[in-house]
Amino acid sequence: MAALETPVCDFGWPAPDFRLPGIDGRLWSLSEVTGPKGTLVMFICNHCPYVKAVIERIVRDARDLAPLGIGVVAIMSNDTDAYPEDSFAAMKEFAHIHGFGFPYLIDETQRIAREYGAVCTPDFFGFDADLGLQYRGRLDSSRRETVPDARRELFEAMCQIAETGKGPAEQIPSIGCSIKWKEE
């Protein structure tokens, strides 16, 4: 399975709205997860080795961003028939094991992943307070294995967005497993 990279950040691109079911049993919209200083929308899944390698760091960074006014949400868009490890029940277990402090939503139709242009897991979209895209980079330099003491690129970018409203000019694409699209 070949790894995919995310495209370059399209600064100012507006965040598409959504209304998706969360593992907590409620429907979540973009406005309900938006933070006063910015919003991080992540496309992740349970089975991807790239996500598994950094999930503790994702949870840590989401926790550390909350006091800075950054809202965080994770969306799982994979085909759960072809990848049962990404089922709704498995999502609940994965979030519980890793201590998610943010909503974890399922995009069963894959419409939201397509509207965002998500290509891989993990795929990070960092928005400013007005929901304009400011970051489309990686979490850190880890790939399928965690890089010890890696610079917190996503965290630093979201801190900059919270402080200035602007993301870093230089961004390194995220890399991961392709989104598992349903057959048309």
The pLDDT tens digits for 83-142 are 999 999 999 999 999 999 999 999 999 999 999 999 999 999 999 999 999 999 999 988
Q: Which two tokens stand for residue 174?
A: 């995220």
- Residue 132 sits in a domain of what CATH number? 3.40.30.10
The reply to whether 184 falls in a domain is no
Task: Average the pLDDT over each of 38-47, 108-117, 148-157 and give the range with the smallest value.
Answer: 148-157
pLDDT in tens, 8-33: 899 999 999 999 999 999 999 999 99
How many domains does one find in the chain? 1
pLDDT in tens, 155-176: 999 999 999 999 999 999 999 9
pLDDT of residue 2: 65
pLDDT of 184 strictly over 90: no
pLDDT of residue 44: 98
pLDDT of 82 strictly over 80: yes
Q: Which residues contact 177 (CB under 8 A, 6 or more apart)?
A: 1, 3, 4, 45, 48, 49, 50, 51, 120, 121
The reply to whether 171 falls in a domain is yes
The reply to whether 183 falls in a domain is no
At CA 94, angle to CA 68 and CA 146, rounded to 5?
70
The reply to whether 150 falls in a domain is yes
pLDDT of 1 strictly over 80: no
Average pLDDT over residues 28-51: 97
Residue 162, domain extent: 4-178
pLDDT in tens, 50-74: 999 999 999 999 999 999 999 999 9
